[in-house]
Amino acid sequence: MKLRSQLALLVGGIVVVPFLVAASVLMLQYLNARSSARDPERFLPGTWIRSGTSRSQRVGELRGLAGQRPPGMEVVVLGADRTVEFSTIPGFVAGSSIDAEAVLQYLRENEDATLYRPREPRQDAVSAGGSTSEPLFLVRLPPPPVEQPNVLRVIRSRVIETLIYPALGLLLFASGVSFWIVRGFNRSVRKLEAATRKVADGDLDFSLPVRGNDEVSSLTRSFDRMRTALKEEFARRARFIMGVSHDLRTPLTLIQGYVEAVSDGLAEEPDTRRKYLSIVQDKTRALDGMVTDLIEFVRMDTGEWKMTHRPVRLAPFLRPIAQRYAEDAAILRRSFTHAIELPEGLEVSMDEALMGRALENLIGNAIRYTGEGGSIGLRASLENGVPVLTIRDTGIGIPAEDLPRIFDPFYRGTNSRREQGFGLGLATVKSIVEGHGWTIDVSSEVGKGTTFRIAMGKSPATA
């Protein structure tokens, strides 16, 4: 659960729980008031008598039953012959005989006295003067305690209950939910702190499992992605240094060899000396170009090369580039065609110098890897209102296993390993294109050619 949801639960509980507890307390007070309004003593004698006489009516057991009467109750047990078997009421002596008239007179004088029969009375009731074989119970209930309630005290007691119990419920709920939130938050923060210390110490070879879906867990996942990216960056930097060292070593070794040959007198003839010096000069130029490419890539990759965007009319920008490479292709016996199918007023915000360098790289590669008699084409058109540049050739093509990695720095495909360079050209092109917010993709087939496609989809374009 997200931290926002947890806090919403806490706030909602703080609002709702006191009302729920207060409603429960009021309901209990109402039920207690209703139950206390009843007089259970009105129903107690009959129930008590029936519970004892239903088992047996022997005199000994009836006396025992009378001895277990509820507190405060007075009782007289009359036998079948109107003999007082048990009595706690003055005027009725145990063992004496009493007539029905005396019982009725006692009932008239005492409103709180009642005569009970264990079972349904027969026609020979006492009031009719007949005899009965069933015992009679003359019961006198204690007067209910009369206590004038203190209204203020009752109100104060109920108000205190109505306030205290909701407060206790709110305290328990808030404490429990707060403890749950803080415990989860603290656990995630401690885990993130430990991972941060490892990264600060240079340890990137660990996993950071994350549970939950709150904001701290999301931050931990982002941190783990950063750790993975740092690990990959360090590995890429190591490959960068190894690639630079390897590619720079070859021309330097050749330069050193020819210089030593000249200094050792192996090129005493002028023609041989000029040949060796010419080779050294070519290798020096190649080395200078490699270093320049390396510096440009590093500046582009680290963001030190700030792009200067300004509105550029795309069609006038592309025509000189197309005409220049048409001449270069003609000298190398390749055909170069171009189709600029864009409105003259179409402007695109871009860095003109960097974009020109990217196109020169793509078109130069197309000419280089296309044999004599082949063709190279540049097409610029609108697709769904988005300017799209397409550079295609009928050259040797790129193997399928090389396509996913041709934009990686220092990667040189199967068909380009004999060429000098670091393999940074296409990596620089991708950095320039993505730096503008555009996209570049490639499709190729060995022996049939390659097509690069740049979609300027995220640039503002106006006609």
Q: In this predicted structure, what is the pLDDT of residue 390? A: 95
Q: Tell the residue number behind the tokens 């640039």, with chain if given.
A: 459
Please say whether the dihedral angle defined by the alpha carbons of residues 56, 60, 62 and 64, taken in this order, is positive or negative: negative
First to last CA, the chain: 50
Helix axes 151-200, 215-263, angle to 10 degrees: 10
Cβ-count burial of 229 within 10 angstroms (0-12 exposed, 13-18 middle, 19+ buried)?
exposed
Q: Give the residue from 457, 313, 296 showing the smallest Cα distance to 383.
A: 457
Q: In this predicted structure, what is the pLDDT of residue 410? A: 60
Q: Tell the residue number behind the tokens 């029905």, with chain if given.
A: 100
Separation CA 169–CA 157 (nearest Å): 18
Question: How many CA atoms does the CB half-sphere of 126 hold within 13 Å?
Answer: 24
| 439 three-state secondary structure | strand
Question: How many CA atoms does the CB half-sphere of 69 hold within 13 Å?
Answer: 23
Residue 108, token pair as written in the block: 């008239």
Q: In this predicted structure, what is the pLDDT of residue 39? A: 46
Separation CA 166–CA 75 (nearest Å): 48
Cβ-count burial of 185 within 10 angstroms (0-12 exposed, 13-18 middle, 19+ buried)?
middle
Q: In this predicted structure, what is the pLDDT of residue 315? A: 93
Backbone Cα Rg of the chain: 53
Beta carbons within 8 Å of 146's beta carbon, 6+ residues apart:
none
Q: In this predicted structure, what is the pLDDT of residue 440? A: 92
With a cut of 70, list the residues of the chain below it in pLDDT: 1-4, 6, 29-30, 33-67, 80, 118-134, 142-156, 239-240, 243-244, 246-247, 250, 289-290, 293-294, 296-307, 409-424, 458-463
Q: Give the residue from 342, 352, 354 showing the smallest Cα distance to 387.
A: 342
Partners of residue 77 on adjacent β-strands: 86, 137
Partners of residue 349 on adjacent β-strands: 311
Is residue 402 a contact partner of residue 414, using CB atoms and an 8 Å limit?
yes
Q: Give the residue from 94, 100, 43, 99 showing the smallest Cα distance to 73.
A: 43
Separation CA 189–CA 185 (nearest Å): 6
Q: In this predicted structure, what is the pLDDT of residue 14? A: 76
Length of the chain in residues, anyone? 463
Q: Give the residue from 13, 11, 8, 6 showing the smallest Cα distance to 214.
A: 6
| Edge-to-edge strand ranges of the sheet holding 461-462 | 310-313, 347-350, 461-462
Q: In this predicted structure, what is the pLDDT of residue 436? A: 86
Question: How many CA atoms does the CB half-sphere of 415 hold within 13 Å?
Answer: 21
